[in-house]
Amino acid sequence: MKILVTGGAGFIGSCFIRHILNKYKDYKVINLDALTYAGNIENLDDVKNNANYTFVHGNICDKKLVKELISEVDCVVNFAAESHVDRSISTPEIFIETNVKGTLNLLQSCKELGIQRFLQVSTDEVYGTLGKTGYFYETTPLAPNSPYSASKASADLLVRAYFETYKLPVLNTRCSNNYGPYQYPEKLIPFFISKLLKGEKVPVYGDGLNVRDWLYVYDHCSAIDTVLHSGTVGEVYNIGGHNEKTNLEITKLILEAMGKDESCIQYVQDRLGHDRRYAISNDKIQSELGWSPSLTFEKGIKITIDWYLNNQQWIKNIENKKAGVL
């Protein structure tokens, strides 16, 4: 099988490529990535010389390039997205361009050329927010509360429309908060680790009691693999870790692992439209496809923190690029 992975130089995309190349020795992967600020080609240094891996620098909005690449592959897995909520609040236009128009371009090319499967990687944020109890299910109505989640919900609806209208063989996954190695250090765990390494305080939004369900990135990748190969076309599959933690709990875990105390916390004004709680049900993917997370949160978070502490140069390289040093 030959797979086009879009956004493969990002956090989850790079881990998925590594997962596929390690598991399927006869598969070929083309990685299309625009290498925007969050795309880091260094994430795939360990596979760059693999004969089954090809990197293409380009944008999913480039119709000519997308069509050329899709004509060479059997399946498309779309990770390419602007994904940082804070950035979507200040510059929503970029999120519509990439997350909506880019996905539309991929879908249209897949329709015109024919494809075995198109898998859209989405987020539980399209469902909005939950109260203190209950879970998001695949049947939960979409109710996004940020420009980012609205752009992802729009893309999901386009994916559905291409199945309903054109019978394009699509699949849609929606995951909870990912954590693990190679995550761009604007997201909570690597961001806080990098701040503490520099002797700075970590900013916690509001009261810190916003709840997220945390999923280890390689468990997420194995779930996407399962859906790609065994999922029913036209269906949505939720992927969660069943690890509900408040932001404050995560912060305290990081502080403890790094020998710091709560004096390193700085509470800041809450984010606009900040969803209070996410929690996702895995019932469908477990009962229909037999997938469940393999790693406990306690083990996964230790692996993650250790990775960042042992790869401080990786963080410094990103910060230098951001500052224009490299």
Catalytic residues: 124-125, 148
**Nearest-angstrom CA–CA distance, 261 and 152:** 37
- Look at residues 161, 147, 152 and name the one whose alpha carbon lies nearest to residue 126: 152
CA distance 189 to 178: 10
Token pair for 102: 């880019």
C-alpha 103/C-alpha 309 separation (Å) is 35
In 3D, which of 38, 42, 21, 43 has the Cα closest to residue 30? 21
For 263, which DSSP code? G
For residue 53, the cross-strand partners are 29
Question: Residue 188 and residue 202: Cα distance in Å, rounded?
Answer: 9
Measured at the CA of 140, the angle between CA 138 and CA 143, to 5 degrees, comes to: 120
**CA 281 to chain CA centroid, nearest Å:** 18
Judging by DSSP bridges, how do beta strands 265-268 and 211-216 pair with one another?
unpaired
